[in-house]
Each structure stands twice: as C-alpha cells, then as structure tokens.
C-alpha cells in the first residue's frame, strides 16, 4: 500500500474575492475513501502522485515528489471561469512508501477507476512519469473490453525503456506495450516532441516495431501546425478514448527549467495548447496528467506556473 495524504487548504490560496473569482475559492476537498462527488455536477478530480522514486531509479534529479503541491500553489491563484454546476475537487496525494513504486502504481490505478466510476474526470499532478503506467491501467479498467484507449504523450522521450531491472520513470509505455501484446492487442501510442539526442537507437527500434506514432521536436512547433493537427486527427480516429500525458521536460528549459531532465532543445507552450484544444474538442479525452515538475530546480516558480496554466486551460476547456 502507498501512503495517502488527504486534501487540505494549505496549498490553495490567493486573492480573496468572496465571489469565487479565483480557483482557491472554488476548490473543494474530498477523500478518495469517502468521495463527495454529486451526479448533478460536472466533476473534475485533482489527484497528486507525490513520488520521485521512478526518477531516482532512472538516475534522474530528485525532487518531483514536491511537484503536485507546487502546481496547486500556482493554480489556486488563477482565475475561476468554471460554470456554477461544475465541481472542482482535490483528492489529495498518493505517496510512495518504503520505495514500493509498484504498490503506488497499483493504488493509482484503482483510484482512477473509482473516480471514473463515480462520474469524475481525473487530472493527476506529478510526480515522476512512472505514474503513466498506473493512470493508463486505471482508465483501461474503467472501459468496456471492446473500447480502445489511445495514449498521446507530449515528451522529449519515448519512455519505452525495458523494465528488466524494475519499473521507473522511463519504462511506463514499454510496460503497457508488453501487457497489451500478452492480450494479443497492440499499444496505440503517439509521442509528440521526441528528440533524437534523448533516445537511443534501441528505443527508436522498439518504437518502430510497435508502430508508435511520433513527431520529432523540430516538427512539433507552431510552424507545422496543420501537419501536427492532421497527424493528431488520424491517430484519434483509430481509438475510442484518449489518455493524455504532458511531461514538462519536453518543453524547452526556457519555459520549464524545473524538471527532472531539463534541456533547451524542447518545444514551446503554443503548440501544446493547440494540440490540447484538438484533443479536448474530439470528445475522447478520458484522463490527463502533468508530470516531472521538480521544484528544487525551478526558477521563480516558472515551471510550476506553466504546469498550472496547462491544467487551468484543460479544466476550463472540458
């Protein structure tokens, strides 16, 4: 079992309007063990994955465990334009206990399924990217067997490393691919922003062998918007639902210095926002997460603000 910390007000604050003009005034707090989701509301469920065990195993920079609360701190200050019949709930953090990453992933999976069963749309704040394995499995368990779940990953890395030495932040989509094959199915996976200098030949070979759709970072920018949109539309046509995951280390360090693996050679927010718009308007988005924020290396909370802005955009668009 992972450790669970209930949601609280400590990370949510900002200007006080008395009219719910800011998200810290709109947010309500719930427990995953006794949720207050009401069917008459359109509910968005915020859940933290407070762990960097996967990053540590992958020899990355430690600190992503502090990511969820850092995002909340910035998100609470932002303006609230949600409708009155919408419900924004914070369900607190799942935390890795005694380095047991596998138990944490299983608990995340079960929590995601439970939230969906109760009518909530999950948005997970990370935390290292190994959360993708638990998040995906939770979404898939919710779906009927004949429904196909596709993955869209905004990232510099495929995260298709073999998990022969255990699960880590670089293995989630490899794990999913192998488990899909065991069921005589194939992974439906699209990676946007891939960098050749950040992925080995072995990873490219594995991606090609599993028919992974991907766009290189140099083509994932606003100058190629029509091409990006076409590729997204083609991918989404072949699936029933979409799991979207945003790895902040895919952004240029000009926008996101506070990540586990920073690089100046990354994409910019404008193309991500245009892509998210298309994904949400498809009506197929089932779950979303933002991962790899490392506040230990952030500058003036720039990366936390970027992550919060992405979440702000998504919750208002859906």
270 among the known binding-site residues?
no
Q: Can you give the pLDDT at residue 294?
A: 97
Burial 18-51 (b: 16+ CB within 10 A, else e): eeeebbbbbbeebebeebebeeebebbbbbbbbb
pLDDT tens figures, 140-167: 999 999 999 999 999 999 999 999 988 9
81 among the known binding-site residues?
no
Q: Can you give the pLDDT at residue 29?
A: 96
Average pLDDT (293-301) is: 97
Q: How confident is the model at residue 179 (pLDDT cuts 50, 70, 90)?
A: very high
Domain extents in the chain: 3-317
> C-alpha distances in angstroms, 47 versus 61, 122, 160, 181?
23, 7, 25, 30
240 among the known binding-site residues?
no
**Alpha-carbon distance 20 to 94, whole Å?**
28
pLDDT tens figures, 40-68: 789 999 999 999 999 999 988 999 999 99
Q: Which CATH architecture has domain 3-317?
A: 3-Layer(aba) Sandwich (3.40)
Q: 86 pLDDT exceeds 90?
A: yes
Q: Can you give the pLDDT at residue 4?
A: 93
3-state secondary structure of 116: helix
Q: How confident is the model at residue 260 (pLDDT cuts 50, 70, 90)?
A: confident
Q: 39 pLDDT exceeds 80?
A: no
Burial 224-261 (b: 16+ CB within 10 A, else e): eeeebeebbeebbeebebbbbbbbbbbbbbebbbbbbb
Q: 34 pLDDT exceeds 90?
A: no
24 among the known binding-site residues?
no
Average pLDDT (11-26) is: 96
């Amino acid at each position: 079992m992972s450790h669970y910390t209930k949601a609280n007000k400590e990370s949510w604050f900002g200007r006080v309007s008395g009219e719910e003009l800011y998200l810290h005034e709109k947010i309500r707090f719930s427990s995953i063990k006794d949720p207050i989701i009401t069917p008459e509301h359109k509910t968005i469920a915020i859940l933290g994955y407070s762990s960097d065990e996967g990053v540590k195993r992958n020899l990355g920079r430690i600190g992503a465990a502090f990511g969820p609360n850092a995002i909340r701190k910035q998100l609470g200050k932002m303006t609230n334009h949600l409708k009155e019949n919408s419900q924004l709930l914070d369900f607190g953090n799942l935390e890795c206990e005694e380095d047991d990453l596998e138990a944490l992933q299983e608990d995340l999976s079960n929590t995601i399924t439970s939230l969906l069963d109760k009518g909530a749309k999950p948005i997970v704040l990370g935390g290292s990217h190994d959360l993708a394995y638990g998040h995906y499995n939770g979404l898939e368990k919710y779906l009927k067997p004949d429904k196909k779940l596709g993955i869209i990953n905004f990232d510099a890395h495929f995260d298709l490393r073999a998990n022969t030495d255990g699960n880590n932040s670089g293995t989630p989509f490899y794990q999913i691919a192998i488990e899909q094959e065991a069921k005589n199915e194939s992974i439906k996976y699209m990676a946007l922003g891939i960098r050749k200098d950040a992925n080995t030949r072995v990873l490219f070979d594995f991606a090609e062998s599993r028919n992974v759709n991907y766009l290189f970072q140099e083509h994932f920018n606003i100058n190629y918007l029509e091409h990006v949109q076409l590729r997204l539309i083609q991918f989404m046509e072949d699936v029933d639902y979409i799991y979207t995951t945003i790895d902040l280390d895919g952004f240029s360090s000009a926008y996101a210095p506070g990540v586990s693996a920073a690089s100046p050679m990354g994409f910019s927010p404008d193309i991500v926002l245009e892509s998210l718009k298309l994904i949400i308007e498809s009506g197929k988005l089932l779950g979303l997460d933002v991962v790899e924020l490392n506040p230990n290396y952030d500058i003036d909370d720039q990366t936390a603000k970027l992550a919060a802005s992405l979440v702000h955009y998504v919750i208002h668009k859906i």
